[in-house]
């Protein structure tokens, strides 16, 4: 027989999609999991379409998730995330996907891993990649996670049942510190030219750059950014330099592909979202265009949005200076698909800035369940 079949569930979580597996159905060896996930998603694909797999040709649609028994005393399940490259044989385990985090709680309830009565469920998630705890709260009806609801989110058509995600103490998951360099603002150098930057590790490691330093407005479309190869090369070079500063790599060439994510931030300005909707400057506090896995993101990676929300609360950071005083408890982040609101609680302690929590709201839906085919030699 040429193919083997592995039990799996295909889910949308927020503005991402991924293939979810039970840990018990996979080999324990990470290298064998890499090979399986590449085959499942259809990578590497030089045409960048992943037609021979479950992937969708972009980073937000090329993901795998492993759910297993908890290894943390404060959790109900373990959640491990794998980012699968589209055009190369690479699986990156260095980061978390905030969007797919929203599907973990519903998956756990629907799969019988966590018992929940009708009403609001709480699933405590141990995010293995970042070693952090996430609390997912969502409605349950008839013993299963509710799907239908009236909550709308930018980047996803229609509405769904609202899922609240509380990322507890999200700072330092990758580097050990909220501000890995100890500075609210740093200066990176490329080609003899300085670029102001804020390096933050909250939910995921990110480097924030000022759009003005790059000759941008912060309202550019993802297509326009990708159509400028010199700009993309510059952003990647600065990202890799930031990885060294943050202690994620010994040299720029060794930087992980998934982190740090690089984000261009700008002051609020009127712009048109990908769905054609017009957003006035007064609808948001700060604008961001983010690069993930060497592609311009069509929305904003949720962990990147949370890192930006946290950064906006750190006095002296580049995002805080751009956004200025923010009224209310939430930071409104403009991105190509619309506006994302992030709740961020940040405090200053004797040891420095500390991120107490970050809160976001998403929707999720089970799209398919059954078994996914892989070459029999892999399993």
Residue 261: half-sphere exposure toward Cβ, Cα within 13 Å: 34
What pLDDT is stored for residue 251 in this prediction?
A: 98
Three-state DSSP at 106 gives: helix
DSSP alpha helix (H) spans, the chain: 30-41, 98-110, 222-226, 229-245, 302-311, 318-323
Q: Show the tokens assigned to 148.
A: 């239908």
Pairing verdict, β 119-127 and 77-84: parallel
8-state DSSP, 249: -
Residue that has been written with the tokens 């060896």 in this structure = 29
Distances (CA, A) of 3 to 33, 39, 45, 132: 16, 11, 20, 36
3-state secondary structure (DSSP) of residue 68 = strand
Quote the strand ranges of 108-147, DSSP E: 119-127, 132-141, 144-145
Q: Establish whether domains 3-162+364-378 and 186-351 are of one fold.
A: yes
Contacts of 47 (CB under 8 A, 6+ apart): none
Name the pairing type of β-strands 352-362 and 163-168.
Answer: antiparallel
Q: What is the C-alpha to C-alpha distance for residues 65 and 8, in angstroms, rounded to an integer?
A: 10
Q: For the chain, report the end-to-end CA distance as a whole number of angstroms.
A: 12
Helical ranges in 63-175 per DSSP H:
98-110
How far out from the chain centre does Cα 113 lie? 24
Q: Do 130 and 96 touch, CB atoms closer than 8 A?
A: yes
Tokens for 359? 């809160």
Which architecture, in CATH terms, is 186-351?
Roll (3.10)
Give the per-residue pLDDT at 328. Answer: 82
- From CA 33, how far away is CA 89, in angstroms rounded? 12
**pLDDT tens across the length of the chain (379 residues):** 899 999 999 999 999 999 999 999 999 999 999 999 999 999 999 999 999 999 999 999 999 999 999 999 999 999 999 999 999 999 999 999 999 999 999 999 999 999 999 999 999 999 999 999 999 999 999 999 999 999 999 889 999 999 999 999 999 999 999 999 999 999 999 999 999 999 999 999 999 999 999 999 999 999 999 999 999 999 999 999 999 999 999 999 999 999 999 999 999 999 999 999 999 999 999 999 999 998 999 999 999 999 999 999 999 999 999 999 998 889 999 999 999 999 999 999 988 999 999 999 999 999 999 999 999 999 7
Q: Mapping DSSP to helix (H, G, I), strand (E, B) and coil, where does residue 4 land?
A: strand
User: What element of type H or E holds 168?
Assistant: strand 163-168
pLDDT number for residue 351: 87
Other residues' Cβ atoms within 10 Å of the Cβ of residue 70: 16
**Total-model pTM:** 0.90
> Nearest CA to 226 among 291, 180, 176?
291
Between 302-311 and 98-110, two packed helices, what is the crossing angle to 10 degrees?
120
Q: Cis before residue 99, ω within 30 degrees of 0?
A: no
Nearest partner of 98 among 167, 146, 30, 154, judged by Cα: 167
Would you say domain 3-162+364-378 falls under CATH 3.10.310.10? yes
Extents of the domains making up the chain:
3-162+364-378, 186-351
* 226 backbone dihedrals φ, ψ, rounded to 5°: -70, -20
């Amino acid at each position: 027989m040429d193919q083997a079949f592995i039990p799996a569930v295909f889910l949308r979580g927020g503005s991402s999609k991924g293939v979810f597996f039970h840990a018990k159905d996979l080999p324990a060896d990470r290298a064998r999991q890499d090979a399986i996930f590449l085959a499942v998603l259809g990578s590497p694909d030089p045409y960048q379409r992943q037609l021979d797999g479950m992937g969708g040709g972009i980073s937000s649609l090329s993901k795998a998730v492993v759910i297993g028994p908890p290894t943390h005393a404060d959790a109900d399940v373990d959640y491990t995330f794998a980012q699968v490259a589209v055009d190369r044989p690479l699986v990156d385990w260095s980061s978390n996907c905030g969007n797919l985090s929203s599907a973990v709680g519903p998956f756990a309830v629907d799969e019988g891993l966590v018992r929940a009565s009708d009403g609001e469920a709480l699933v405590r998630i141990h995010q293995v990649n970042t070693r952090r705890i996430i609390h997912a709260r969502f409605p349950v009806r008839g013993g299963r996670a509710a799907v239908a609801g009236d909550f709308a989110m930018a980047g996803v058509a229609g509405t769904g049942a609202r899922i609240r995600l509380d990322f507890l103490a999200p700072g330092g998951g990758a580097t050990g510190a909220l501000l890995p360099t100890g500075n609210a603002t740093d200066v990176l150098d490329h080609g003899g030219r300085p670029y102001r930057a804020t390096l933050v590790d909250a939910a995921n490691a990110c480097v924030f750059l000022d759009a003005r330093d790059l000759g941008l407005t912060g309202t550019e479309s993802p297509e326009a950014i990708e159509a400028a190869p010199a700009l993309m090369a510059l952003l990647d070079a600065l990202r890799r330099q930031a990885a060294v500063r943050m202690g994620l790599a010994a040299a720029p060439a060794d930087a992980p592909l998934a982190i740090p994510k690089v984000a261009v931030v700008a002051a609020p300005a009127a712009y048109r979202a990908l769905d054609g909707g017009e957003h006035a400057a007064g609808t948001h506090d700060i604008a961001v265009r983010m690069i993930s896995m060497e592609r311009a993101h069509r929305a904003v990676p949720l962990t990147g949005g949370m890192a930006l929300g946290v950064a906006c609360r750190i006095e002296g950071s580049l995002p805080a200076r751009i956004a200025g005083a923010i009224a209310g408890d939430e930071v409104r982040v403009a991105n190509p698909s619309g506006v994302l609101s992030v709740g961020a609680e940040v405090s200053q302690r004797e040891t420095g800035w500390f991120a107490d929590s970050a809160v976001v709201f998403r929707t999720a839906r089970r799209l398919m369940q059954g078994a996914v085919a892989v070459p029999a030699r892999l399993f």
